[in-house]
Amino acid sequence: MVGAGKLRLVWPAASIAGTASRGNTGHARQIGATDMAVTNDAIQAALERGHTIDITTTGRRSGEPRRLEIVFHNIDGRIYISGTPYPRKRRWLLNLEADPHFTFHLKGKTRADLPATARVIDDEAERRAVLPDVARAWKRDDLDRMVRYSPLIEVTFDPDSPD
């Protein structure tokens, strides 16, 4: 069941880069130490439901940052990133296989750049346990194809990272 579990993170002031915003004011502001209680709650709320984010990986050949838009899913309190099925591996997944550290960029009402680590999920049994929730969220009926070809990672946040 999607979102049934509870994910609880505490973000030290030094671990969050960028800006945070609340509401539809359209104004973002730099995050400071006094914002952490609100920001922690806002980040927590944003992670409770899956939606569109950006991620920045490190190019496996170039070493340059590579940013892309993608969707994440909260499944039983765990955060996953997947994609539509395609026979060839995506570049972002190849980058994460080479270097699993990346930045998870919340956008929308809550904006934050969160240091994270990816665990690529290749095990078929684990993929079959996770991907039905992703398929339901996307209203897809091709689970076998998704298990075979969809990229799938589990995200672990690194709140103590100096990034």
Using the CB atoms, write b or e for 105-122: b if 16+ within 10 Å.
bbeeebbbbbbbbbeebe
For 147, the 3-state DSSP assignment is helix
Q: Is there a contact between 74 and 49 (Cβ–Cβ < 8 Å)?
A: yes
Nearest one of 91, 101, 153, 102 to 127, comparing CA atoms: 153
Query: Tens digit of pLDDT for each residue in 46-84?
Result: 999 889 999 999 999 999 999 999 999 999 999 999 999
Query: Tens digit of pLDDT for each residue in 90-135?
Result: 999 999 999 999 999 999 888 899 999 999 999 999 999 999 999 9
What distance in Å separates the CA atoms of residue 65 and residue 92, rounded to the nearest whole number?
A: 11
For the chain, which residues make up each domain, given as ranges? 53-62+70-163
pTM of this prediction exceeds 0.75: yes
What distance in Å separates the CA atoms of residue 19 and residue 76, rounded to the nearest whole number?
A: 28
Nearest one of 147, 155, 53 to 96, comparing CA atoms: 155
Q: Considering the domain 53-62+70-163, what is its CATH architecture?
A: Roll (2.30)
